Amino acid sequence: MKLTFDEAVKATGAHVLEIDAAPSYVEVGTDTRTIAPGQTFLALRGEHFDGHAYTREAVERGATLLIIEDPECAVPGTTTLVVENTLQAFLALASASRALFRGRVLAITGSAGKTTTKAFAAQLLAVRYGARILAAPANENNEIGVSKLLLAADNDKHDVLVIEMGARHYGDIETLARAARPDLAILTNVGDAHLEIMGSRERLEETKWAIFSTGARAILNAQDVTSIRRAPSLARPAHWFFSGGVGSDIPMHGRVSAIAGAQHWLEIDGDRDDAYTIDARVPGVHNRANLAAAIAAAREYGIEPQQIVDAIPEIELPQGRYERIALPNGVVLIYDAYNANAAGMMAALDAFAVEGAGRRIALLASMAELGEGAADLHRRVGGHAAATKVDVMLVGGEFAGELARGARRAGLPSERIVPFMSNEQAASWVRSNARAGDAVLLKGSRKYKLEEIVEELRR
* Residue 392 near residue 362 (C-beta atoms within 8 A): yes
Residue 251 has a pLDDT of 58
| CA-wise closest residue to 12 among 22, 23, 26 | 26
46-82 pLDDT, tens digit per residue, is: 888 999 999 999 999 999 999 999 999 999 999 999 9
* Residue 374 near residue 455 (C-beta atoms within 8 A): no
CA atoms within 13 A on the CB side of 169: 5
Round to the nearest angstrom and report the end-to-end CA distance of the chain: 45
Mean pLDDT of the chain: 94
The crossing angle, in degrees rounded to 10, of helices 143-152 and 86-100 is 40
| CA-wise closest residue to 181 among 220, 205, 153, 140 | 153
The CATH 3.40.1390.10 portion of the chain extends over 3-89
Residue 247 has a pLDDT of 47
The CATH 3.90.190.20 portion of the chain extends over 323-458
Radius of gyration of the chain (CA): 24
The crossing angle, in degrees rounded to 10, of helices 86-100 and 172-180 is 40
366-375 pLDDT, tens digit per residue, is: 998 888 889 9
CA atoms within 13 A on the CB side of 112: 23
Residue 380 has a pLDDT of 97
Q: What is the mean pLDDT of residues 225-244?
A: 92
Q: What is the DSSP string of 242-260?
A: EES-TTS----SSEEEEEE
Q: Could you give the CA distance from residue 450 to residue 428 in angstroms, rounded to a whole number?
A: 13
Question: Between 436 and 138, where is the model more confident?
Answer: 436
98-155 pLDDT, tens digit per residue, is: 999 999 999 999 998 999 999 999 999 999 999 999 998 877 899 999 999 999 999 9
Q: Could you give the CA distance from residue 63 to residue 59 in angstroms, rounded to a whole number?
A: 5
Q: What is the mean pLDDT of residues 405-427?
A: 98
Q: What is the mean pLDDT of residues 413-421?
A: 98
Question: Between 368 and 89, where is the model more confident?
Answer: 89
Residue 270 has a pLDDT of 76
Q: What is the mean pLDDT of residues 19-25?
A: 95
Q: What share of the chain is helix, strand, coil (3-state, %, to 5)?
A: 40, 20, 40
The CATH 3.40.1190.10 portion of the chain extends over 101-314
Please, which residues bridge with residue 164 across strands?
Answer: 108
Instruction: Say yes or no: domain 323-458 is CATH 3.10.580.10.
Output: no
User: Which residues in 390-412 are b (16+ Cβ under 10 Å) and which e?
Assistant: bebbbbbbbbbbbbbbbbbebeb
Residues 6+ apart with CB under 8 A from 369: 168, 193, 194, 195, 196, 197
Distance (Å) of CA 405 to CA 97, 221, 400: 52, 32, 9
- State which CATH number among 3.40.50.300, 3.40.1190.10, 3.40.50.170, 3.60.15.10 fits the domain covering 101-314: 3.40.1190.10
Rounded to the nearest 10°, the torsion over CA 130, 119, 217, 142 is -120
Please say if the pLDDT value at position 320 is more than 80: yes
| CA-wise closest residue to 260 among 224, 285, 295 | 285
DSSP reduced 3-state for 275:
strand
CA angle 303/261/249 to nearest 5° reads 85
| CA-wise closest residue to 40 among 3, 72, 88 | 3
Q: Could you tell me the CATH superfamily of domain 3-89?
A: MurE/MurF, N-terminal domain (3.40.1390.10)
Residues 6+ apart with CB under 8 A from 90: 28, 30, 42, 44, 143, 144, 147
Amino acid in the structure at residue 351:
A
Sheet of strand 439-443, all strands in order from the earlier edge strand to the far edge = 323-326, 332-335, 439-443, 360-365, 392-396, 417-419
- Structure pTM? 0.89
